Structure 1
């Protein structure tokens, strides 16, 4: 009886440990809560909150056991000009999981938001904090959950992983533009890029949109059988779009883009953490894991231009 009981406890412990690696609504809520708190003041580019957000992501990457992705540096610093604003500073945060493979999967999300809107020339109320819980603290929460899954599950996957938190997205996809022009490794070695931007406001009538379906010959086969109870999705062929996957697509990399759609709080000070649906975001990440795992059964995705 004691042996059986001990074996049962050990199995229960293994099951509990395995469950820790799955996407968690509690962790999603915690990450979004931190990144969209008033003290980060909307994570604006060239604002203290934006820098703090990048440091937070770096520390999470390090805790998860990733390696610095930019030649022993966690950050990829860059400057850019946007309209009348010159020499703006931002940075990408890059974590790397080296599985000794020939090709790498890039998973990305942008960490910046509008901040206090001072760089947007009156388009948004200047001085008000735009917390950006859905846009895009939700995507960063997803990025960290996928990083946890692929570092902590104990399996050596047949592809390397690069996790990138992009800066400067709200000012014209600046971080991903810079990365694709200055990649850490050749873009020809990228299997595909998966981007998450605004995945926290799931609408059951709409479902989650997955763009990039037409950017590789193999996507239709990879999508077969993918499902998660309580979360529906639809596909869109387009590889271009208003988020960081666009930069990779135009550079010849197959892409996927997860997005739960617009809402009344988009780019407003009211995009706050309590409105995010963490349980549904968990389901979206489970769908992403299925797609990534199916894609790893293919040697190398073949890029396809969407007409």
Structure 2
């Protein structure tokens, strides 16, 4: 029987430096596990986070958790910090025009090729959510924590697991991989827009962006949806082949880049693909909770994306932008 840790134990480990998942990973190096995914989800959807709304204490707690995990994995920093600060303008009648301080959390795994290590794949997911509701809530008038287990604690937990495995297997990488947890996505892709406008590396060295937004509800047909696979060479073939090998049912579009953080990259002329497992009735409602996440399915998706990154990070995989407009 799998051991599940309580939120109290997870928070105790967090405040001494690393979550249990990171300590456990030191023994099980290089693995993506259901256990660790669930532990990340427990922290991210905890009532202590209060829906991860930008500018709040809950949002700051998430940032501290993410940078603690990045440090435990051994991710490198740009400018000696994992935090990229920016001001986010809030939406909604009460908050309209109000700007709050929030962050992207950024680290990277350095590649090994003498030249290609200066080229980058970006892996991203947004960590923020709706707090206790607001104009984007599908339960208007309800003042209740929106835990956002699928949107987007699922993508953030997958981001952490993939980052951990990449860091443990960095010897496989020719190119480097930037890992970004974006803030303020729900207020207009603000974190990813800020990141693209303030890249820590030359723009022409960013070769591909892969984004995960709502990857926690893999259905019985194992359908994984993705848009933007045609924005880089061989993308359609690669994404389909690897998905089928993982037992996934890929629904792939060359264009249809979509409405999440990868759009910020595509608009800047950077190849970008976004992945999700589909919509559901709990979207942007208080009912988007951890118990509805298909953790085994999310593990499969994380392994799939990890495999894709290792392939496109090879020095002999040609990467350039292909416009789909």
Distance 1:202 1:268, change over 3 A: same
Aligned length: 291
Match of 1:73 among 55, 63, 81: 81
- 1:213 match: 229
> SS at 2:236's partner residue?
helix
- 2:273 match: 256
The Cα RMSD (Å) is: 2.2
CA distance in 2, matches of 1:292, 1:121: 34
Distance 1:162 1:124, change over 3 A: farther
Q: 1:130, CA displacement in angstroms?
A: 0.2
1:93 aligns with 2:101: no
Write the mapping of 1:194-209 to structure 2, written as runs, cut at 5 A: 194-205=210-221, 207-209=223-225
Aligned partners of 1:239 and 1:255 also within 8 Å:
no
- 1:147 match: 163
Distance 1:120 1:280, change over 3 A: closer
- 1:12 match: none
- 1:5 match: none
Q: 1:121, CA displacement in angstroms?
A: 9.2
Distance 1:133 1:18, change over 3 A: same
Q: 1:73, CA displacement in angstroms?
A: 1.5
CA distance in 1, matches of 2:238, 2:27: 25
Match of 2:146 among 101, 112, 130: 130
Write the mapping of 1:221-260 to structure 2, written as runs, cut at 5 A: 221-223=237-239, 225-226=241-242, 227-238=244-255, 240-260=257-277
CA distance in 2, matches of 1:194, 1:74: 19
> SS at 2:230's partner residue?
coil
CA distance in 2, matches of 1:285, 1:186: 28
Distance 1:50 1:228, change over 3 A: farther
- 1:182 match: 198
1:193 aligns with 2:209: yes
CA distance in 2, matches of 1:121, 1:280: 26
- 1:49 match: 58
Match of 1:117 among 133, 138, 146: 133
Distance 1:122 1:240, change over 3 A: closer
> SS at 1:147's partner residue?
helix
Distance 1:35 1:18, change over 3 A: closer
CA shift digits 1:226-278 (9 cap, x unpaired) = 13454322211225321100000111111121100100100000001011011
Aligned partners of 1:228 and 1:283 also within 8 Å:
no
CA shift digits 1:140-193 (9 cap, x unpaired) = 111011111111125251011110000000111000001111111122101201
TM-score, structure 1 normalization? 0.88
1:104 aligns with 2:120: yes
TM-score, structure 2 normalization? 0.83
> SS at 1:91's partner residue?
strand
> SS at 1:85's partner residue?
coil
Aligned partners of 1:239 and 1:256 also within 8 Å:
no
Moved more, 204-213 or 142-151: 204-213
CA distance in 1, matches of 2:138, 2:240: 46
Bigger Cα Rg:
1
CA distance in 2, matches of 1:222, 1:30: 31
Aligned partners of 1:41 and 1:116 also within 8 Å:
yes
Distance 1:281 1:56, change over 3 A: same
Which blocks of at least 5 consecutive residues in structure 1 are unaligned? 1-15
Aligned partners of 2:128 and 2:186 also within 8 Å:
yes
Moved more, 37-46 or 209-218: 209-218
1:36 aligns with 2:45: yes
Distance 1:121 1:205, change over 3 A: closer
